[in-house]
Chains A and B, each alone.
Chain A
């Protein structure tokens, strides 16, 4: 007597498992190809070219999307010098490698991923904490090379340790963070207003 209905049959579920897994994975592969094409640096406005560090970056409210989107306009060379595409990529690469080598991600987040002991760095370049753009680069350079000496813990008592960051590495980190600030993150973090917006709300 074999009265096992289909829904209780081992073979039926085995086949289902195989098909569901295969189809899901196939869809993921297709979506991955599409996403990769859209997020390589400079291919669309989602992830900018590294030379965006030569430009002024700001965010404006986009009424149709109902969120803030990045706006790249006018020259604003980092450390006063316009860089070629290759030079810009080299500087951002030094910054990204330093970001990894100093284990930044185990206190900070970037794009919201990481640890929650220190602030998110996605839009740190645009944070109103720097007050205005005139002294920003100088303040950032000084802070990264001597974090305890320039500590601003806003009443938490938490300080960034001295990580032995050299001036070159600090410049790289700042370039990396300026480039990161121009990535279109679908409105994350919510309702963030840049230091320019604080000046001209």
Chain B
């Protein structure tokens, strides 16, 4: 074991694969911010890259890179704790390794095709080989099939390893959640001319991923992180996890109805979607209570300060971004005016960052700590840890700033385009040219640049934190109740 330098001998099999996923995730994170900035510039200077890299291409790459880096982060996180949680080596690791390279090659090809071919003729070939043209899941059909195949290998690794080793509450929830995650993707893999039917099933993928199965997946990752970082008792973490699953699926599954208000589906969805989606913030409140309480009880004594910082950012980001910002426009009485405006973009920015980017970044710090030989990452870091603190500050400030700017633009659109002008094209453009809108777009770009600065600092920090560190990580004793099987406490 080497201390203070990046050495793969410090990692177990699953962790070696995890750091590969994390590395690609960071590359895609950079791509997300880059294409987001280009798209933000085009709101201010519409001639910028016109007919070379149009807004549609930048926006598609911005969001696709985000979705894919989230998934890479989640998959990496699961591989990271798979051996510790199961007590055995990863089953089928070689296959998992191949799946990683297949997935990464497929992602690379899809990005090149998006950049250089962009679009095709209005036939089936385009949908199979170039671009499916359905928001968020634009990947052509061949890539869809590849993604499902890779996810099945991942599922085999996870289920096989837990079956061979030991099961726990965390691993049970995780495994069942992965079944739903893979199954739901299939709902988005067919063509239909009927745009209402198309959106009905498209939302099964989009909503039931991000507002149900992804939330439960990060719940599992969070549960494991709290045991790792703070030494929280497994029984407490798992009880909360079950409560969260009940609340999350209880509100999120029928909360799907809030996407069925205006797409041609029957009117009963207005009541069902409104009621259940209004309950969606409740599990996120539970999450706030649990992690802040845990951190306080342990007097913020943790094995990894940057990771704990990002876990707390996740807690608040998930609650405000997904919970509060979602609730603000989920009832049909307000959604009639806000649906299809920058309100949604405001909610999207804060929720994906708050709920998902944060927990992934927390895991990057856990990974780099172990990769350098499980070095000290508590208080009194070299240079007082200014890099992780500033990058966390800048990233949060940037995203919150963009969220507020987009919210102002969304308010303005709801009033001027919808309520006053009656939703015509001239109403749309009247809202787009109003100073309240154009100023908001200017500030969104500024805050995008702040976010990019935070990301640059984050990369620098991840590359250097713990380098040359000789102190071993803080060891936290976990006091399990008698009769409850203790998890492995990694001490070095």
Which residues of A are at the interface with B, using a C-beta cutoff of 8 A?
A: 8-10, 13-14, 16-17, 20-21, 24-25, 27-28, 31-32, 34-36, 38-41, 46-47, 50, 89, 92-107, 109-117, 119-120, 123-124, 127-129, 148, 153-159, 161-166, 169, 172, 176, 180, 183-193
Contact = CB atoms under 8 A, between A and B. Distances in A.
B106 interface: no
22 contacts: A27-B254, A28-B256, A38-B265, A38-B266, A39-B266, A40-B194, A50-B193, A97-B191, A101-B122, A103-B56, A104-B56, A111-B263, A112-B339, A115-B59, A117-B59, A128-B426, A154-B429, A156-B46, A162-B51, A169-B121, A186-B262, A189-B418
B199 A106 contact: no
B200 interface: yes
A157 to B, nearest CB: 4
A101 B126 contact: yes
Contacts of A21: 245-246, 249-250, 253
Interface stretch (B7-15, B128-136, B469-477): B128-136
Contacts of B126: 97, 100-101
B130 A101 contact: yes
Contact of B120 (A39, A101, A157): A101
Given A101-B126, A106-B59, 10 more contacts: A31-B272, A36-B197, A97-B124, A101-B123, A107-B59, A154-B432, A156-B46, A180-B195, A185-B264, A191-B419
Complex A-B, nearest 9 residue pairs according to Cβ-Cβ distance, in ascending order: A100-B133, A98-B122, A112-B340, A154-B429, A189-B423, A188-B262, A13-B242, A106-B56, A24-B253
B127 interface: yes
Contacts of A117: 42-43, 55-56, 59
B249 A17 contact: yes
Contact of B423 (A38, A101, A176, A191): A191
A137 to B, nearest CB: 17
A120 B340 contact: yes
Contacts, number: 254
B32 to A, nearest CB: 15
Nearest to A114: B135
Classify the secondary structure of B's interface with A.
Answer: helix
B47 to A, nearest CB: 7
Contact of A186 (B121, B127, B261, B419): B261
Nearest to A117: B55
B168 to A, nearest CB: 11
Nearest to A193: B422
A31 to B, nearest CB: 7
A93 B433 contact: no
A162 B269 CA distance: 39
A192 B423 contact: yes
Contacts of B267: 186
B341 A116 contact: yes
Nearest to A98: B122
Contact of B54 (A95, A161, A180): A161
B238 A10 contact: yes
A97 B433 contact: no
B197 A107 contact: no
A44 B134 CA distance: 26
A106 B35 CA distance: 13
B326 to A, nearest CB: 16
B169 interface: yes
Nearest to A148: B51
A111 B262 contact: yes
Contacts of B430: 154
A130 to B, nearest CB: 9
A159 B429 CA distance: 12
Given A13-B246, A115-B135, A128-B424, A47 B51 contact: no
B227 interface: no
A148 to B, nearest CB: 8
Interface string B175-198: 000000000000000010111110
A27 B263 CA distance: 20
Contacts of A98: 121-122
B102 interface: no
A84 to B, nearest CB: 16
B263 to A, nearest CB: 5
Nearest to B336: A190
A105 B59 CA distance: 10
Nearest to B194: A41
Contacts of B50: 159, 161
Contacts of A28: 253-254, 256
